[in-house]
Amino acid sequence: MTSIELPEPDKSILRRRDAIVADLEAMFSPDQVISDEVGRRAFETDALTAYRRLPLAVVLPETTKEVADILRYCHESNIKVVARGAGTSLCGGALPAEDAIVVGVSKMNRVLEIDYPNRTARVETGVTNLAISNAVAEEGFFYAPDPSSQLACTLAGNLAMNSGGAHCLKYGVTTNNVLGLKIVLMTGEILDVGGKALDSEGFDLLALAVGSEGQFGIITEATVRIIRAAEAARPMMIGFDSAAKAGLCVSHIIASGIIPVAIEFMDKPAIEVCEAFAKAGYPLDAEALLIIEVEGSEDEISERLAQISEIAGELKPTTMVVSSGPEQSERIWRGRKSAFGAIGRLSDYYCMDGTIPLVHLPFALERIAEICSSYGLKVANIFHAGDGNLHPLIMYDVSKPEEAEKAEQAGAEILKLCVEVGGCLSGEHGVGIEKRDLMHAQFDKKDLAVQTRIKSVFDPKWLLNPAKVFPLDCREDPSVKPASTGEAA
């Protein structure tokens, strides 16, 4: 998979490499600057491993001021910067460039303040997603967005990608759970947005910054909402003999006024792989499996699951199993959460992330199967059904370049399909380099211009996370300066 064009590195920067490294070493302590090749190798890719680029150098700041120092330096010296959390991005969002410095926030991982009465936590963004929930667990609270990568991924990456997770159906995604940010701009200026208040003042800069894929600034601190956990939660499994029925079941549940905390979908190939791996007790005879979780007290849960069973029952499921207790619940979720890993043991895979309107689910699944088989590839589907966010896993052999190429082509067709049926290219993984060139499928020129002008406001020289998100020809001619404000009326 190497068909995505990456720009030629700026030779003048490469020539200055030694001088730049010397400058960095003067600014930071030795353990904060990585310039040797072996050290830099660790940062050459993210979870889209087919693309690799050795960065010019890596800097690991420990304070917001240090982040400001390095960004100001890069701004003045016209050096590109790629921000990095844990490097688990699936879209090449954290892919470095040879003429760019990677600024990693992994050393900034402290929980700064937990405020239970106001239900907020203030953290440095290098903290892992799960560490936030762990820090507040003893009081029964948690941080809601739960990407499957939560053990490793950082809040910084979550903020940049507006990450989601299985429980977002009820609790929302990252942008719905953040109240304040500290962002260092390329100029070294520090922007504080929001705080503990529920609304932020003025334009919603928070909304723009979350999901900006590291292109506006480096986020060093965040104030997030923490939520009191429900008394208990319990999943049930419902198997069907067709994906269409599973899709209908989801629609019927939602139409009845019930919003479960999570509704996850797996197709037969996924069920088989996960069952073999995790022994979760999944029904091997089902074509499609729903895992539906509800929360509340024991009585509330029982009542809700009974209602759901009744709705599902009308569709003649092949299996219907309510978890009998914590041990079985754990197994059911373990199967789902280990899905990527389980498939990864069988085959290399390419994980897609489009979203579709749920009404088109049966059609979309059929088309996905057709598209993949036309390339001679196998596909497994696992996804968040409550919100239509598909994750087809296209299996291929990484050692065969032509197969990799095919996987990439099949993936692009699938994403275009998602847009055609009224959905979008990415539900939670972001655009990065991976979907950059597909942006024209979803947006016209003006839509993109509106976005790239915002980019130019935050980062006029386009130094932050270059060659990501927008097709390479998208940047408006910078000589066409926007008129200055205040000249009219």
Partner 1 sequence: MNDILSPATDWELGSMLASLSEEKTSVEILGAGSKRLMGRPPKADYRLTTSVMRGIPLYEATELVMSARAGTPVSQVEIELAARGQMLAFEPTDLGPMFGQAAGIQTIGAVFATNQSGSRRISAGAARDHLLGVKAVNGRGELFKSGGRVMKNVTGYDVARGLCGSWGTLAVITEATFKVLPVPEDVVTLVFAGLPDDLAVEMMCAAMGTPYEVSGAAHLPASTVLRLEHDSLSRAGQALTALRIENFPKSVAYRKTKLSDALSAYGTPFELDLENSLNFWGELRRVSVMPAGSTNIWRISTAPMQAPKIVYGIARHMDVRVYYDWSGGLIWLETPESADAGAADVRRAVAIHGGHATLIRADRAVRDSVEVFQPLSPVAERLTRELKAAFDSHGILNPGRMYADV
Ligand X SMILES: Cc1cc2nc3c(=O)[nH]c(=O)nc-3n(C[C@H](O)[C@H](O)[C@H](O)COP(=O)(O)OP(=O)(O)OC[C@H]3O[C@@H](n4cnc5c(N)ncnc54)[C@H](O)[C@@H]3O)c2cc1C
- Decide if residue 486 touches partner 1 (CB under 8 A): yes
- Decide if residue 148 touches ligand X (CB under 6 A): yes
Closer CB to ligand X, residue 20 or residue 100? 100
- Decide if residue 235 touches ligand X (CB under 6 A): no
Question: What dihedral do alpha carbons 242, 246, 248, 253 form, nearest 10°?
Answer: 160
322-351: contacts with ligand X (CB under 6 A)? 340
Closer CB to partner 1, residue 1 or residue 160? 160
CA 463 – CA 157 distance, rounded (Å): 18
- Decide if residue 461 touches partner 1 (CB under 8 A): no
Contact 319, 246 (CB under 8 A): no
Instruction: Pull the structure tokens for residue 206.
Output: 């928070």
Long-range contacts of 334-337 (CB under 8 A, 24+ apart): 334/278, 334/280, 335/274, 335/275, 335/277, 335/278, 335/279, 335/280, 335/282, 336/166, 336/264, 336/266, 336/274, 336/280, 336/291, 336/382, 337/148
Per-residue buried b or exposed e for 430-449, using 16+ beta carbons within 10 Å of the residue's own CB: bbbbbbbbbbebbbeeeebe
Contact 63, 108 (CB under 8 A): yes
**Site mask, ligand X, residues 69-108, x = CB under 6 A?**
-------------xxxxxxxxx--xx----------x---
Closer CB to ligand X, residue 235 or residue 430? 430
- Decide if residue 59 touches ligand X (CB under 6 A): no
Residue in 234, 429, 435, 455 binding ligand X, rule: CB under 6 A? 429
Residue in 19, 284, 450, 472 binding partner 1, rule: CB under 8 A? 450
Closer CB to partner 1, residue 297 or residue 373? 297
The residues with which 100 forms a beta bridge, in sequence order, are 80
Contact 265, 290 (CB under 8 A): yes
Contact 93, 468 (CB under 8 A): yes
Question: What dihedral do alpha carbons 197, 66, 457, 180 form, nearest 10°?
Answer: -10
Binding window for partner 1 (CB under 8 A); candidates: 37-45, 148-156, 248-256, 281-289 = 248-256
- Decide if residue 114 touches partner 1 (CB under 8 A): no
- Decide if residue 234 touches partner 1 (CB under 8 A): no
- Decide if residue 165 touches ligand X (CB under 6 A): yes
- Decide if residue 158 touches ligand X (CB under 6 A): yes
Total residues binding ligand X (CB under 6 A): 37
Smallest separation, CB 313 to ligand X (Å): 30
**Site mask, ligand X, residues 193-222, x = CB under 6 A?**
--------------------xx---xx---
CA 177 – CA 12 distance, rounded (Å): 43
352-391: contacts with partner 1 (CB under 8 A)? 355-359, 384, 386-389
Total residues binding partner 1 (CB under 8 A): 102
CA 484 – CA 204 distance, rounded (Å): 21
- Among partner 1, ligand X, none, partner that 39 touches (CB below 5 to 8 angstroms by kind): none
Beta strands in 211-339 (DSSP E): 218-225, 227-228, 232-240, 262-267, 288-296, 319-322
Closer CB to partner 1, residue 149 or residue 175? 175
- Among partner 1, ligand X, none, partner that 3 touches (CB below 5 to 8 angstroms by kind): none
174-233: contacts with partner 1 (CB under 8 A)? 175-176, 185, 189-193, 195-205, 207-208, 210-212, 228-231
CA 108 – CA 28 distance, rounded (Å): 15
Residue in 87, 104, 239, 427 binding partner 1, rule: CB under 8 A? 427
CA 88 – CA 150 distance, rounded (Å): 10
What is the full DSSP assignment across 25-37?
A: HHHS-GGGEE-SH
Q: Name the residues that contact ligand X, by CB under 6 A.
A: 46-47, 82-90, 93-94, 105, 125, 147-149, 153-154, 156-158, 160-161, 163-165, 213-214, 218-219, 340, 428-430, 465
